[in-house]
Amino acid sequence: MENGFNQEMMILNSFDDQGLSAVEVLDHGDKRVLSEMDFFAAEERNYSSTLQIKKQSDHEPAAGKELHLHISTGLDVLTSDANLMSEKRSMDSSRSAEGSGCPTSDTEFVVLKAELDRMNTENERLRAILNQINDKYYSLKMHIMSLSNHQQNTGSSAEIKSDDRKMIINEEGDEESQGFEINLKHCGQREDKDIGKTQQQLECSSSPLCTEEMSMANRRLQKNINSDQIRKVPHEPHTSKDLDQYQAAEATMKKARVSVRARSEATMISDGCQWRKYGQKLAKGNPCPRAYYRCTMAVACPVRKQVQRCAEDRSVLITTYEGRHNHPLPPAAMAMASTTSAAATMLLSGPMPSADGLQNSNVLARNVQLPYSQNLATISASAPFPTVTLDLTNNNANIPTNSLLHSPQAPTFHAPFSSHQPQHFSPGAGVQVLDSSQDIVNAATAAIAADPNFTAAVAAAISSIIGNSQRNEGVVDHNNSVGDVGK
């Protein structure tokens, strides 16, 4: 595999108050292996974990660099008492710092606090953008791959109609051309039957989160796609089969579910959204009732969730999310929403070999335990709907960490529709970025290695997504490009 995915970049994106994130960068000759991930560390109880990434060189196995990152599940799954204790400790430590009395320390404290506030604001903005970009990337990628694969049966190229252009993806094109990132379509929120409409405009007109800066980023991305990887062809109408496949993909996207298993004594895990209970049932095989909730943060928000205690271990709360929010989310809800949304998108973009595969349940009729952390994600299609389960119960702590990533034993999930284009799933945090660009990998690697700070990580991630367009337009003023999203 010399081209394209010779370099693979995975970003395990998780969220906590500081918005820290871990980035995993892999390539064949110089692997960084996730060597430790411990969600819900018992000592600190801060919903955070230490992620230790050890750089391994095939050539110099003994010469390893270690990079310590802080990672959080982003989920407040513990009881409110635990939260209060944590907050109290935080406040106490703040007070003790203030009481130390030195004027210089006070000044420094104020300065640092201002800086921290500024960084937090920046983090929120960047996080929101990253979430959106990732969501759209995977949604559109799934759609494109479905169409591309369909075209393999009927022709040599996949064609995607647009109002003013048509994109062609060469069947035998390298992974770069198939794995490129497009940010035009947000699947799952719209059911536009005419996929030829300018999806960017549709998205921006419909998404409350879309800003001028997002549009600018989209335009840059689109420009890059047009110039680098897509050639224009004369306008042609779309086939009805394509539309059927598209609609099937859309429908499946809506049915996709993300299940989160977490230990909690509370009746619900705190995910930042407002929910209204609309039903409760006793499901077969579980004495604990299953509660049904609707998101009430916006009128007609399609998101629903089911909450049920595990029959085997009633301390485990199973929360299953379905659908995408049609409204802006508060920062507290961004982590979970992004996680579930991205996980669902990955679920659907990964195992589906084609649009035809949507009807082929065999493709999904298996459980796949995904690598990457002790808190494993599982894809299941034995359920009525494709479901990805994020297990945060720490029941997998005995799994050797060195077998979790890219080891022969690790069942890395490969998308069947492109044998040379592996689809890696990052559970828990759920946001994943794949890219083949050496520059991007290097940039992300450098950013993380130099400063394991979320802003840097996000900047690297965003750069990985829109970086190509920057080459054409010079260095982008990051503040301008990210705008006020998330405010």
Partner DNA sequence: CGACTTTGACCTGCGC
Partner DNA sequence: GCGCAGGTCAAAGTCG
Are 126 and 482 contacting, i.e. CB atoms less than 8 angstroms apart?
A: yes
Smallest distance from the beta carbon of 358 to DNA, in angstroms? Answer: 13
Q: Does 287 bind DNA (CB under 7 A)?
A: no
Q: Does 274 bind DNA (CB under 7 A)?
A: yes
Q: Which amino acid belongs to residue 204? A: C
Stretch that binds DNA, among 5-13, 113-121, 287-295, 406-414 (CB under 7 A): 287-295
Task: Quote the CA–CA distance of 424 and 433 in Å, as a whole number.
Answer: 9
Q: What tokens appear for 477 in the block?
A: 């003023």
Instruction: Please give the radius of gyration of the chain, using alpha carbons only, rounded to the nearest integer.
Output: 22
3-state secondary structure 275-322: EEEEEEEECCCCCCEEEEEEECCCCCCCCEEEEEECCCCCCEEEEEEE
Q: Does 276 bind DNA (CB under 7 A)?
A: yes
Closest to DNA by CB, 130 vs 256, is: 256
Cα dihedral sign, 256-261-264-270: negative
Are 157 and 231 contacting, i.e. CB atoms less than 8 angstroms apart?
A: no
**Which residues share a beta bridge with 258?**
321, 388
Interface pick for DNA out of 2, 61, 172, 284 (rule CB under 7 A): 284
Q: Does 304 bind DNA (CB under 7 A)?
A: yes
Q: Does 300 bind DNA (CB under 7 A)?
A: no
Closest to DNA by CB, 97 vs 365, is: 365
Q: Does 80 bind DNA (CB under 7 A)?
A: no
Interface pick for DNA out of 84, 283, 365, 446 (rule CB under 7 A): 283
Are 137 and 466 contacting, i.e. CB atoms less than 8 angstroms apart?
A: no
Stretch that binds DNA, among 198-206, 269-277, 335-343, 479-487 (CB under 7 A): 269-277
DSSP-assigned states of every residue in 344-359: HHHHHHTT--STGGGG
The backbone torsions φ and ψ at residue 349, rounded to the nearest 5 degrees and listed phi first, read -80, -20
Distance from the Cα of residue 144 to its chain's centroid? 18
Closest to DNA by CB, 82 vs 268, is: 268
Q: Does 226 bind DNA (CB under 7 A)?
A: no
Q: Does 321 bind DNA (CB under 7 A)?
A: no
Interface pick for DNA out of 116, 118, 251, 278 (rule CB under 7 A): 278
Interface pick for DNA out of 28, 65, 95, 281 (rule CB under 7 A): 281
Stretch that binds DNA, among 24-32, 45-53, 288-296, 403-411 (CB under 7 A): 288-296
Q: Does 290 bind DNA (CB under 7 A)?
A: yes
Interface pick for DNA out of 306, 349, 463, 464 (rule CB under 7 A): 306
- Residue ranges that bind DNA, judged by CB under 7 A: 274-281, 283-285, 290-292, 296, 304, 306, 384
